[in-house]
Structures are given as C-alpha cells and as structure tokens.
Amino acid sequence: MLALSGVCAHAQSSVTLYGIVDGGLTYTNNSGGHSAVQASSGGRGSSRWGFRGVEDLGGGTAAIFQLENGFNLMTGTSLQNSREFGRMAMVGLKNRYGQLTMGRQDDVMVTYLGSYAASILFGGGLAARAGDLDNGFADYKLNNTIKFSSQSFNGFSFGGLYGFGGVAGSTGQNQVWGLGARYAAGPVSLGAAFHHVNNPAVTYFDGSAAAVANMTFTNPVSNPIFKGYTSATSIDTYGLGGSYVWGRSTLAATVTRTQFNAVKKTTTTPVGGIDPVLTSAELVYKFMLLPTLSLASSYAYTKAEAAKYEQLSFGVQDFLSKRTSLYMIGAWQHASGTNSMGQKAVADLNLLTASTRQNQVALKVGVTHSF
C-alpha cells in the first residue's frame, strides 16, 4: 500500500494506492458436462487495484474519493463489463456524523450484511449463496447512486442509498433504493437491510436492454437458478444477519428473501406473469487454529419457487505474512426440483459453468497478496 500526502496552509490531503492480486487453480467435477481444471483469478476475492483519497477541509469535514478496478489476473482484462473502475467510482464528503458519496457503489445489502456471509468471511465467490442473488459477495454494483453511511453511535450505525433512473420521461425505470442498519457491541454484531431495484435486467444484472414481454430478450444471466426471472419489472430483497465472536471462534448467520415482481415472458424467460421468491439461509463457523492459520465451513439452503439448493463449503487460509497467504476453498451444491427455466434443477456454484446434473463439486487453491 503506497500513500502520498501533501500539506498546504489550509488543508491536508493523502492518496493511497492499494490492491489485491489473487490467482490459483480451480477443479470442477462437472462444468457443462465435463470435469475441468482451470487457471483462475480471484479465489478469495476479486483481483483489484485502486486509489483512495481524503482531503481535510477543516471543521471536522473531509472530501473523499475512491476509484477501484477489478481485473482478471490470468488475462489482464478488466471485469464488470470491461469498465475501467467497475468495482467502485465515488466521491463525497464525510464528518463526525457520517459520509455522503455519489457514483458507482455497493448497495446496502453488501454494506450491512456482507460481513456475515461465507463468501466474505472465508470462501470468496465459490462459497456465495445460490448465484449470489442477494449480493452478499458484492457481485452486483449500482450506477448513478447517492449513498449515506452514518458513523457508529454507541454501536449503532445506519444508512441509505438512492439510484437515479436517468431515463428521460421515466425517472423510475432504472431507479433503485435501499436502507440498512447495524448494531455492534463487544462480541455481538447484528445487521438488517432492504433494497428495491427497478428494471433489474439492466440496473442490477448489467444487461444491455430491458425485457419486453413476448419479445426477444438478451439475458445477462447464465445461472439457471434465477435466469428465468431476470425479465422482472423489479426486485425486492430483505435480509437479516449477525455474528458472535468468542475466543478464536466466529459464528455467523444470514437469512435473505428476494422477490422478483411481475416477470415477463420472453424468448429467454419462459414463464411470465409470476412473482417468484428465493429465500436463503446460511450458517458459518470460522476458527483461528493458529495466529496465522484459519479454518472455516458453512452450510447454505436456498428455497426457490419450485426448486431447492443445498450447499456445503469449507476454507483453509495460511498467512505467510500480513499481506500474503495461501488458501484452499471447496464447495458442494445439490439441486432438486424444477428451476427457473422450467427444467430439472441442476447445480451451479457461483461464477462457474452449470453442472448437467444435480450435484457439483469444486476446489480452488491459490495465493493472494495485498498491497
């Protein structure tokens, strides 16, 4: 991490260059019908680099900004649809009450519930709940947003986000908004969040065009767990989570409920006129076996409209230094019932190619270095 600072008569400012470089190998027992061993980027967390800056404006107020790029270590290409700063691009002000920021940012589900998720605690994208639909791993970013995050007041913090639609004559078409809160005191932490997303095909899933009923629709999602619902008019997601730390152990749990409203029938979403719901529950246990060695496991259960998905994940991380570690992450998912496409449900671990069967097993090993 490199910090640059400057001093003038009225203000102090600093800019920090930071990043994570993460790479390894991934084995999948069934990837589109065949086993596969592939070089992979971002096992524990997406490879990234960015700038973070702050300028003291006096009177307890500071200007802040953050620009963050996600990239594929194996190919050198930018992620988030090839955006230069697709992971974060924001500017704002902060004081003793909180911070107000504008730009492309994480939603409130990430801010107030992400820290309880298996994907954040140990497992990366592989351990995310079915398709990361509730955004515990921050797979989905929001454009054109204004976000307020309060400071902690006796352990309590809160915030909200509003995203402008930006469509002339229809300000609500791509509109998003959300609210969240957290309480943390000693070993206990509790969080709650809600967000509403209009036109999720474009606003949430980063598609090129909105879905129109009974027309051709280029679906931005490949995961069959919810691919058939992405033509919905809007999405509502509620979530509760918490954690308890004692000694070297951490126990965390999360429950989320996502409802797709008024799904349209199109060429790639075969069932229209419904409001399907996906409910997920997850339990995580993490243990520091040694000061430099952590072990973790999780169980997640997702109930979809006519399907069920169970997932077991585990992770081992060995810290060679404060900035460098080796890791191993494994996951197994089992599917049953009928998926969103009206077909027999198959397993599809997050960010992998779907299995052709009800089960899928994957194992990642790699190294991650932060700077």
Confidence of residue 165 (pLDDT cuts 50, 70, 90): confident
**pTM of the model as a whole:** 0.93
Share of the chain above pLDDT 70, in %: 97
In a domain, 12, yes or no: no
Question: From the CB of residue 230, how many other CB atoms can be counted at a distance below 10 Å?
Answer: 26
Cα Dmax for the chain: 68
Total number of domains constituting the chain: 1
Closest listed residue to residue 106, CA positions, set 128, 81, 133, 139: 139
In a domain, 5, yes or no: no
In a domain, 109, yes or no: yes
Predicted local confidence at residue 170, as pLDDT: 78
For residue 303, the domain's CATH number is 2.40.160.10
In a domain, 8, yes or no: no
In a domain, 7, yes or no: no
User: What average pLDDT is seen over the chain?
Assistant: 95
Predicted local confidence at residue 81, as pLDDT: 95
Please determine, for residue 206, whether its predicted confidence score (pLDDT) is greater than 80.
Answer: yes
Please determine, for residue 21, whether its predicted confidence score (pLDDT) is greater than 50.
Answer: yes
In a domain, 2, yes or no: no
Closest listed residue to residue 42, CA positions, set 356, 310, 352, 288: 352
Predicted local confidence at residue 166, as pLDDT: 79
In DSSP terms, which residues pair with 41 in a beta bridge? 23
Backbone angles phi, psi at 199, to 5 degrees: 45, 60
The whole-angstrom separation of Cα 297 and Cα 358 is 22
In a domain, 4, yes or no: no
In a domain, 33, yes or no: yes
For range 311-325, the mean pLDDT = 98
For range 70-76, the mean pLDDT = 97
| Residues 326-348: tens digit of each pLDDT | 999 999 999 999 999 999 999 99
Please determine, for residue 7, whether its predicted confidence score (pLDDT) is greater than 70.
Answer: no
The whole-angstrom separation of Cα 88 and Cα 112 is 17
Please determine, for residue 192, whether its predicted confidence score (pLDDT) is greater than 50.
Answer: yes
Please classify residue 321 by burial: count the beta carbons closer than 10 Å to its beta carbon, then call 0-12 exposed, 13-18 middle and 19+ buried: exposed
| Residues 256-305: tens digit of each pLDDT | 999 999 999 999 999 999 999 999 999 999 999 999 999 999 999 999 99
Predicted local confidence at residue 2, as pLDDT: 62
For range 35-49, the mean pLDDT = 95
Residue 304, domain extent: 18-370
Give 291's contacts (C-beta < 8 A, 6+ positions apart): none
Beta strands in the chain (DSSP E): 2-7, 12-31, 34-41, 48-58, 61-70, 88-95, 98-105, 142-150, 156-163, 176-185, 188-198, 232-246, 249-263, 277-290, 293-303, 307-319, 324-337, 359-370
